[in-house]
Amino acid sequence: MNHFAKRLPLLLLLATLPAQTTANEAPQPVPAATQNNAPIRTTIGMPKEILELVLPGSELEALPATSASNVIVRIDDVRPHGTAHRYALTFTGLQAGSYDLRDFLQHKDHTPLSETPKIPIQIDSILPKEQTQPNALKSTAPTPLGGYATTMLVLACSWLLLLCVILFVGRKRKRNATLATQQQTLAERLLPLVLAAQQGQLQRERLAELEWLLLSVWRTRLGLEQRTAAEAIQVMREHKEAGALLRQLEQWLHAPSSSSSTDVEALLRPYAALPAPNEPGGPL
Amino acid sequence: MTRTAAKSPERTAATVRFIDAVRTRVATVVVGQDVVVERLLIALFTGGHILLQGVPGIAKTLLAAVLSRAIDLQFARVQFTIDLLPSDILGSEILDQRTNTFQVYQGPIFTNLLLTDEINRAAPKVQGALLEAMQERKVTIGKQTYKLPAPFLVIATQNPIEQAGTFELPEAQLDRFMLCHRLAYLPAEQEKEVLRRNLQLGVRREDNGAIARTEFDVIQNEPVGSKDDLVQAMEAVHDVHVSETFLDHVIEILCRTRNHPAIALGCSPRAGIALIKSARARALIHGREYVVPEDLFMLSEDCLMHRMRLNYEALADGRTVKSVLEELLTDLGAPRSAATRNGELFAAKATSATAAATTTADTAS
């Protein structure tokens, strides 16, 4: 509501614009002010335009302005009007008082302005007499928080903040979860599988994971991380201790119908107590 | 769960002897290259095709020739060039002017072992015709469809350098090759042995002149095995046991290639099939009745790398398919969500690995 009240003068001004344009397109022959001999009024420093002013005689021009000039006149447009001329003038008053605009005009051919009718103008002063300085600005109360622009700004900032929260907090949480899974040591991941397998409770689907982890254990223990997987497994199979254990593991997991003949508990016993990361044989 | 129980230990033992004999025969002509021979045998035993990537002059053709003669297989070689036509490989109908009828001329593809040298030099039309024949194992000439001989193995070669004027095989066509093996230069000692053997070749008198003998002249014509041995080996491969745990491993790797942040195109199900087939054949070659993770690690590069494509970010970071695959294999067993869904984690790990390598280097120095 407040916003509408603020915008009301602007809306009214916009509503008057078409009418003004129409007036410009169909100008009056002579301004009423000049016909009634009533002075055309303006204030100091504010230009005033006179349109469709028909003045007899030869063409007029503005007198050159001097430092003593109280009014400055500019002829915007001149068109012939029978034996007379039709003018569009703009004048700006520099000193308050009543003047005749003829005093600031002259014929181009320098003939006297005897035929030209009087054009009275009145320059008013907004400031009181003797006051030479402009009025001091009145302190206005600050505008209350609100309004369309402020509301939109606040909403945009809030949305951006929310977006940042969604993007970064969620991602960070997910990454932390992933890193937490990744940061589990090999031993921590292997132990539950080994214990479950020893008790015969490991699901068949997890046997593959158990085998990869056991291969990783030996790869780490024998320092083969920098070797390719193919090279590493060949070295592991040729290693005295690792090779024997891995062959038993392969026998258990891959040989046909041999799972019953493999002592799984004994096979996995060496892995049930893997060294901690800071112990010899680690890190795992 | 048992995929296929070991049915005949005798057959396995016979196959192992056959493989040893072939390898010994190959070794009389080709120095080293044990891994390539193994990969060729894997392809032969599983009915897959193999793409060899390597610079010229590392005995790719010689290897194929000696292998074919050792197993008594028909062998043909086609050098791919830009002006090669599909009919140059598949064959065509030729008008017999005496009888005014069309006679079918079968192309070099009608063989057991086809070596296609520099496959990427031929136009895509020719590549497509060959790869279609490889897949379907039959060829249509005119209105007649002909089955290709069994066994049928294509050994294609590709030069990793000199890419100007070549037509790179698209991923869909690369996928048709069960294995893609990257050949490297021989170790210095083996290369010295190559030179030593070459010094002893001498010259061969022919007509009124003489020509310098090559390694091809040394190849013995008597085979050490027959097609029956090969068929027996192919059957023995199917007896190799594949455990459920091994299948889990393969699935784990395939899923990781599809979810890895650096990979734009992961491995197809065909890659998994190829990996298991190859692992079975490798297990047999090594005298095992069941596959083990070692087979997976040893074959993953040849089975998976040519089926993976990195994304632009990874390429811009200077990463290679090999390094990403190695990272995948190293991370097996790690929680998949952690390893595959968080690209930053990979970056952090790469950074820490670099830091660790730097530390190691510093310590060493």
* Inter-chain residue contact A250 with B335, CB threshold 8 Å: no
Amino acid letter, residue A117: P
Write down the pLDDT at residue B110. 92
Which of A205, A215, A216 is the closest to B248 by Cβ? A205
B17 vs B229: CA distance, rounded Å:
10
Average pLDDT, chain B: 82
Per-residue confidence (pLDDT) for residue B196, from 0 to 100: 86
Distance in angstroms (rounded) separating the CA atoms of residues B363 and B365: 5
What is the Cα–Cα distance from B109 to B85, expressed in whole angstroms?
A: 13
Interface with chain A: mutation pick from B297, B340, B345, B349, highest number of A CBs within 10 Å: B297
Is B6 within 8 Å of A256 (Cβ atoms)? yes
Question: Distance (Å, rounded) from C-alpha B100 to C-alpha B103?
Answer: 9
Give the span between the Cα atoms of A74 and A68, in whole angstroms: 17
d(CA B186, CA A92): 102
- How large is the average pLDDT for residues B324-341? 68
**pLDDT tens profile B20-75:** 888 888 888 888 888 888 999 999 899 889 999 888 888 888 888 888 888 888 88
Q: What does DSSP say about strands A97-100 and A120-124: parallel, antiparallel, or unpaired?
A: antiparallel
* pLDDT at A88 (0 to 100): 94
**Residue type at position A173:** R
**CA dist A157 to A145, A151, A153, B236, Å?**
16, 10, 6, 72
Q: What are the structural domains of chain A?
A: 23-124 (2.60.40), 186-272 (no CATH)
Contact call for residues B317 and B278 (beta carbons, < 8 A) = no
Q: What's the length of chain B? A: 365
Chain B residues in contact with A209 (beta carbon < 8 A): 333
Across the range A60-83, mean pLDDT stands at 92
Task: Give the residue extent of every domain in chain B.
Answer: 9-199+217-225
Q: What is the pLDDT of residue B278?
A: 94
Find the range with the poorest average confidence among A12-26, A241-255, B34-48, B102-116: A12-26
C-alpha B228/C-alpha B321 separation (Å) is: 39
Q: Print the SS3 string covering B296-344.
A: HHHHHHHHHHHHCEECHHHHHCCCCHHHHHHHHHHCCCCCHHHHHCCHH
Which residue, B325, B319, B321, is CA-closest to B347?
B319
The pLDDT-based confidence of A262 (bands split at 50, 70, 90) is: low
The residues near A159 (Cβ < 8 Å, ≥ 6 apart) are none
Average pLDDT of span B4-19: 72
Give the model's pLDDT for residue B339.
42
Backbone Cα Rg of chain B: 23
Residue pair A108/A135 in contact by the 8 Å Cβ criterion = no
pLDDT of residue A274: 60
B290 contacts A230? CB cut-off 8 A: no
**Helical axes B269-285 vs B293-304, angle rounded to 10°:** 130
List b or e across B30-41, with b for residues whose CB sees 16 or more CB atoms inside 10 angstroms. Answer: bbbbeebbbbbb
Q: Which residues pair with B205 in a beta bridge?
A: B210
Q: What confidence score (pLDDT) does residue B8 get? A: 67
**pLDDT number for residue B310:** 92
Q: How confident is the model at residue A28 (pLDDT cuts 50, 70, 90)?
A: very low
If phi over 0 gives left and psi between -120 and 50 gives alpha, with beta otherwise, what is residue A82?
left
CB-nearest to A208 from B245, B329, B360 is B245
Phi/psi of residue B253, each to 5°? Answer: -65, -45
pLDDT attached to residue B167: 84
Q: Across all residues in chain A, what is the average pLDDT?
A: 77
Q: What is the pLDDT of residue A20?
A: 41
Strand B203-206 to B75-79 pairing: unpaired
Q: Can you tell me the mean pLDDT for A81-94?
A: 93
Q: Is the pLDDT of residue B122 over 70?
A: yes
Query: Distance between CA atoms of A100 and B126, rounded to whole angstroms?
Result: 103
For residue A98, give the H/E element and its range: strand A97-100
Q: Which of B3-12, B248-257, B261-270, B296-305 has the lowest mean pLDDT?
A: B3-12
Number of CB atoms found within 10 A of residue B83's CB: 9
Please, which pLDDT band fits residue B354 given cuts at 50, 70 and 90?
very low
pLDDT tens for A97-150 read 999 999 999 999 988 888 889 999 999 988 887 787 878 888 877 766 677 888
- How do residues A191-239 score in pLDDT, each as one tens digit? 777 777 777 777 777 888 888 888 888 888 888 888 888 888 888 888 8
Percentage with pLDDT > 90 across chain B: 16
Amino acid letter, residue A130: E
Name the residue of chain B whose CA is nearest to A257's CA: B2
Sign of CA dihedral A172, A173, A176, A181: negative
Q: What is the pLDDT of residue A190?
A: 73
Burial of A183 (0-12, 13-18, 19+ CB in 10 A): exposed
Q: Mean of the pLDDT values across residues B154-172?
A: 81
User: With contacts defined as CB-CB under 8 Å, which chain B residues touch A255?
Assistant: 241, 243, 289-290
Q: What is the mean pLDDT of residues B249-278?
A: 91
pLDDT band at B345 (very low <50, low <70, confident <90, very high): very low
Q: Considering only CB atoms, which chain B residues are within 8 Å of A211? A: 245, 249, 293, 333
| Contact flag A205-B335 (C-beta cutoff 8 Å) | no
pLDDT at residue A22 is higher than 50: no
* CATH number of the B9-199+217-225 domain: 3.40.50.300
Task: Report the pLDDT averaged over residues A181-190.
Answer: 67
- The alpha carbon of residue A34 and the mean position of all alpha carbons in its chain are separated, in whole angstroms, by 55
